[in-house]
Structure 1
């Protein structure tokens, strides 16, 4: 690994009530940075902890100039923690590392090597005796089939070029879709196997089976965004045309009943009015969405310039 990659990275560590783990975490980080001669910056983001996580992090790293400790006043979530660190980052590469020590800091150099080989994003594939939660298995299975991303685990340790975050809008809890959104914007993705360990202390924040419900809803939102955000008229326009044509077909049927069979059927008239009205509304929504998409693209282009 080149000296540039050894220093040109930010290690982001979101932490929420991780007080019991911090001493071991900092000890292992110091050992890894010393062993591999790493000199990147480390940003702890205390996400509204109630157990003095931030205070302990400051105490344990008081003599380590490369470390920053940032705080949220309340628990905002992992996505917001990553974005907070992004605003403070001064390096060209970023690594997301959970504070629970379920991944070893020894993996950090492997991710940097993969970035040096040319990958825009490197994500870890968890292996080992420790089994992933049921929710994570379902999520990864669905994601791989819906989004066609060439990785098997989206909820693991990852490294990427920091600039990628500038062009991707991450909503609440969308950190898990970061790889998906970046891949569909043309960034290259690679995967390496990393060992997953059981927690040494504390409790997992992501073990509830009920998380699958909002995860699937978010997945639908991301799918819609990827497919239709640039050309929303494809969805609204196609739907509108189908409804309008259906209305014309029902109108023809109503005329046939009225003038050929001399049988009036008023509900058909109401159905025609409904189909035509909704159809033209959908076309109108599509045109408005097209204008919004155009403004959005121009805004992002101006930000990048």
Structure 2
């Protein structure tokens, strides 16, 4: 639950950023003081091998609004953000990268856009970027595919600078490389008021990027996973059963065709030909077997979902009336 005394939780995932951490901390602290915000700064060290954790400990010792978390190894940005989301206590949760390419000066306007009640999420858009073409071109392609699949009209899904209503981050769970798709996951969980703000993209001051081109491949696979689970996660038979039924029907039709052809040849006195001499025989066999397996996969999925739903529920309740009585569980 949100702490009414904390207006903003700033969540910063970091990996080998010891050179920039103090400067980032001082910048965030100055912005908060200038705007009289109550805040907490959550620094999540994703298994750094440099002195990042030492800097985090120093900052936490100097400023009681700093909270540090350190992973035993490198789990990835998504894991760091999930940890920060779970620990956050502010009314508005703002995420940003630790490399100083995101400007803390954007925080007041991002906060106001969420606090005003207009949006559940506000995503930054780095309209002018300081990245090489090897990064910007794949990013544009990735954003276009994500827009097409999700229906969310954002220009920059991958921007680390985002603001969330606290209910949003507490109602979602991310893993893998799914931090890029938090707006997509949130929308499919009922938080569809998603806005966008043009933000400053600063040139990297220290170190080098920690991400390679493989992240786009993994990110695309995660997008397909999210889309599939959201659409068919609670009704797997609709997916597997539909494909299985179609393949089984096609295989059965091919089988009847092969049998009919053989009977016709016998009737008209044509030279006898074994059914196995017809390529359709083997294709029909494959379709029938795979179709039956797909249908069985859907059936097993339905059994699993039934057991899962009987024990827990993923339905998000926005509000309850004061006289709502919690049901008793036997």
TM-score of the superposed pair, with normalisation by structure 1: 0.90
Structure 2's unaligned 5+ residue stretches are 267-272, 317-325
Q: Which residue of 2 is the match for residue 151 of structure 1?
A: 154
Q: Which residue of 1 is the match for residue 233 of structure 2?
A: 229
Kept in 1: contact 2:188–2:230 (CA 8 A) = yes
Q: Which range moves more in the overlay, 159-168 or 30-39?
A: 159-168
Q: Which has the larger radius of gyration?
A: 2
Query: Measured at CA, do residues 280 and 258 of structure 1 come closer, stay the same or move farther in structure 2, by a change above 3 Å?
Result: same
Q: Which residue of 2 is the match for residue 195 of structure 1?
A: 200
Structure 1's unaligned 5+ residue stretches are none
CA drift of 1:216 comes to 2.1
After superposition, what is the alpha-carbon deviation per residue over 1:62-108, rounded to whole angstroms, capped at 9, x for unaligned? 23111111111111111111122223222343111111111111111
Within a 5 Å distance, the mapping from 1:141-290 to structure 2 comes to: 141-156=144-159, 157-187=161-191, 188-206=193-211, 208-262=212-266, 263-266=273-276, 267=278, 268-290=280-302
After superposition, what is the alpha-carbon deviation per residue over 1:238-288, rounded to whole angstroms, capped at 9, x for unaligned? 111111111221122112121111243225444433322221221111122
**What secondary structure does 2:199 align onto?**
strand
**What secondary structure does 1:73 align onto?**
coil
Query: Measured at CA, do residues 299 and 142 of structure 1 come closer, stay the same or move farther in structure 2, by a change above 3 Å?
Result: farther
1:130 aligns with 2:142: no
Alpha-carbon distance in structure 2 between the residues aligned to 1:190 and 1:236: 36
CA drift of 1:172 comes to 1.5
Alpha-carbon distance in structure 2 between the residues aligned to 1:270 and 1:22: 64
**What secondary structure does 1:205 align onto?**
coil
Alpha-carbon distance in structure 2 between the residues aligned to 1:117 and 1:139: 31
Alpha-carbon distance in structure 1 between the residues aligned to 2:247 and 2:314: 38
1:14 aligns with 2:13: yes
Alpha-carbon distance in structure 1 between the residues aligned to 2:102 and 2:5: 19
**What secondary structure does 2:67 align onto?**
strand
Alpha-carbon distance in structure 2 between the residues aligned to 1:8 and 1:299: 35
CA drift of 1:298 comes to 4.8
Q: Which residue of 1 is the match for residue 321 of structure 2?
A: none
Alpha-carbon distance in structure 1 between the residues aligned to 2:308 and 2:173: 11
Alpha-carbon distance in structure 2 between the residues aligned to 1:293 and 1:166: 23
Alpha-carbon distance in structure 1 between the residues aligned to 2:237 and 2:283: 24
Query: Measured at CA, do residues 181 and 61 of structure 1 come closer, stay the same or move farther in structure 2, by a change above 3 Å?
Result: same
CA drift of 1:115 comes to 0.6
**What secondary structure does 1:191 align onto?**
strand
Q: Which residue of 1 is the match for residue 319 of structure 2?
A: none
Kept in 2: contact 1:78–1:175 (CA 8 A) = yes
Within a 5 Å distance, the mapping from 1:40-59 to structure 2 comes to: 40-59=39-58
Corresponding pairs, count = 301
| Aligned Cα root-mean-square deviation (Å) | 2.3
Query: Measured at CA, do residues 294 and 165 of structure 1 come closer, stay the same or move farther in structure 2, by a change above 3 Å?
Result: farther
Q: Which residue of 2 is the match for residue 87 of structure 1?
A: 86
Q: Which residue of 2 is the match for residue 115 of structure 1?
A: 114
**What secondary structure does 1:123 align onto?**
strand
Query: Measured at CA, do residues 131 and 270 of structure 1 come closer, stay the same or move farther in structure 2, by a change above 3 Å?
Result: closer
